[in-house]
Amino acid sequence: MALVRGRSAERPSFWPGYVDALSSLLLVIIFLLSVFMITQFFLNQEILGRDSALQRLNAQIAELTDLLQLERANAEDLEVTISALSATLSGAEAERDALEQRLAGIGLGLDESESEIAGLTSELVAEREISSEAMAQVALLNQQLAALRQQIGALEAALDAAELRDTESRTQIADLGRRLNVALAQRVQDLSRYRSDFFGRLRQILEGRSDVQVVGDRFVFQSEVLFDAGQAQISSEGEEQIASLAAAILELETEIPSDIPWVLRIDGHTDRRPISTPQFPSNWELSAARAIAVAKLLVEQGVSPNRLLAAGFGEFAPLDPGDTDEAYRRNRRIEFKLTEA
């Protein structure tokens, strides 16, 4: 470490310019993030408003549909009534025609059949009155049926307009959902970028160590770097390594916006050889205790505890399935992964 500091001292200092550039970049990032958060807030408000409008439209459509069905049922009843009255009118007209024929056939026997003629005339007058009343009822029912048809037409027009508004609202909501998905995808990209920056800093801090490796999206510390065999107490050398890691995490916490959910997951792993002690009845307890010990030390170094997640995997997620000492050594490890909360 002294050698590195000596070399750094021989180089010209670019620190003031670097700090100015970094400060300007940070201000730009904060401004863009503020714009993004304001846009996200208005998008959420617009979506809520669209959902409320859609619910009101659906309620109106349901109400109009029920009213339309009721009016159609009334129209059907009126048509049945008209049919019955029409049948009655037809029967009355048939009886009237029969009476007129009988009256015409009496002809020459008028003198002998005056009483019968009078009775038939009375019946004919009564039948004509019934026919007039029936015709008046039919005319009235026809007027009511026409009015009902107009109401049904108006209801159908209102229903079509409501369905059109519903379609437009669904289209707008789909567009808002697409924009929201784009924003969420941007968040994931931002987290990936911060993860890359974090890994780059850790590589600089841990450069030259063969017992610390990068496996995919994780940093892997061999257990021997941090712990003695079968123990969950971090060694002095391990504390130095965790302190360096904590410095990188603290710097990262100040750069990632608060609206991006992230945690540093700490995974403890052991080899397949079983352990059974009063303190650690199985490899699960040992791996979990080691992960928790690392998390507690990071908290002591100032890392926020709600950004840490400790998990124990025991021997059930090996990197090397072999039974050699080298395979056992590789599988005894602590992994650090920056991921979404």
Q: Is 291 helix (H, G, I), strand (E, B) or coil?
A: helix
pLDDT at 329: 93
Query: Which tokens hold the place of 322?
Result: 């072999």
pLDDT at 305: 94
Task: Report the percent of the chain where pLDDT is more than 70.
Answer: 80
pLDDT at 182: 54
Torsion angle, CA of 29/35/41/46, rounded to 10 degrees?
Answer: -140
Query: Which tokens hold the place of 276?
Result: 């059974």
Other beta carbons less than 10 A from residue 227's beta carbon: 23
pLDDT at 262: 86
Amino acid at 243: A
How far apart (Å, rounded) are the C-alpha atoms in residues 99 and 93? 10
**262-269 vs 308-312, strand pairing mode:** parallel
Residue 222 is given by DSSP the state E
How far apart (Å, rounded) are the C-alpha atoms in residues 108 and 161? 73
CATH 3.30.1330.60 domain extents, the chain: 206-340
pLDDT band at 317 (very low <50, low <70, confident <90, very high): very high
Mean pLDDT for 197-212 is: 59
How far apart (Å, rounded) are the C-alpha atoms in residues 31 and 51? 30
H/E segment holding residue 268? strand 262-269
pLDDT for residue 325 is more than 70: yes
How many residues belong to the chain?
341
Of the chain, the end-to-end C-alpha distance in Å amounts to 36
Architecture of domain 34-187: Orthogonal Bundle (1.10)
pLDDT band at 197 (very low <50, low <70, confident <90, very high): low
**333-340 vs 262-269, strand pairing mode:** antiparallel
pLDDT at 84: 82
Do residues 121 and 103 touch, judged by C-beta distance below 8 A?
yes
Mean pLDDT for 228-249 is: 90
How far apart (Å, rounded) are the C-alpha atoms in residues 282 and 272? 11
Residue 234 is given by DSSP the state B
Q: What pTM was estimated for this model as a whole? A: 0.45
pLDDT for residue 210 is more than 60: no
Higher pLDDT, 267 or 147: 267
Taking only the tens place, the pLDDT of each residue in 276-292 is: 899 999 999 999 999 99
pLDDT at 3: 43
pLDDT for residue 309 is more than 60: yes
pLDDT for residue 341 is more than 80: no
Contacts of 144 (CB under 8 A, 6+ apart): 78
pLDDT at 256: 80
pLDDT at 205: 56
pLDDT at 227: 95
Other beta carbons less than 10 A from residue 68's beta carbon: 17
Higher pLDDT, 294 or 72: 294
CATH 1.10.287.1490 domain extents, the chain: 34-187
Higher pLDDT, 310 or 208: 310
Mean pLDDT for 117-141 is: 77
Q: Which residues pair with 334 in a beta bridge?
A: 221, 268
Do residues 269 and 331 touch, judged by C-beta distance below 8 A?
yes
Mean pLDDT for 126-155 is: 80
pLDDT for residue 116 is more than 60: yes
pLDDT at 4: 43
pLDDT at 37: 86
∠ CA 115-118-123 to the nearest 5 degrees?
A: 130
pLDDT at 110: 55
Note the CATH number of domain 206-340: 3.30.1330.60
pLDDT for residue 1 is more than 50: no
Query: Which tokens hold the place of 155?
Result: 């209801």
pLDDT band at 106 (very low <50, low <70, confident <90, very high): low
How far apart (Å, rounded) are the C-alpha atoms in residues 20 and 23? 5
Query: Which tokens hold the place of 209?
Result: 């160590």
Task: Report the percent of the chain where pLDDT is more than 90.
Answer: 27
Q: What is the 3-state secondary structure (H, E, C) of 110-167?
A: HCCCHHHHHHHHHHHHHHHHHHHHHHHHHHHHHHHHHHHHHHHHHHHHHHHHHHHHHH
Residue 1 is given by DSSP the state -
Winning range, highest mean pLDDT, from 121-125, 140-144, 197-201, 288-292: 288-292
How far apart (Å, rounded) are the C-alpha atoms in residues 252 and 304? 11
Place of tokens 């009237």: 96
Query: Which tokens hold the place of 145?
Result: 């049926």
pLDDT for residue 149 is more than 90: no
Helix 114-205, helix 15-106: angle, nearest 10:
170
Do residues 212 and 238 touch, judged by C-beta distance below 8 A?
no
pLDDT for residue 322 is more than 80: yes
Taking only the tens place, the pLDDT of each residue in 2-32 is: 444 444 445 556 677 778 888 888 888 898 8
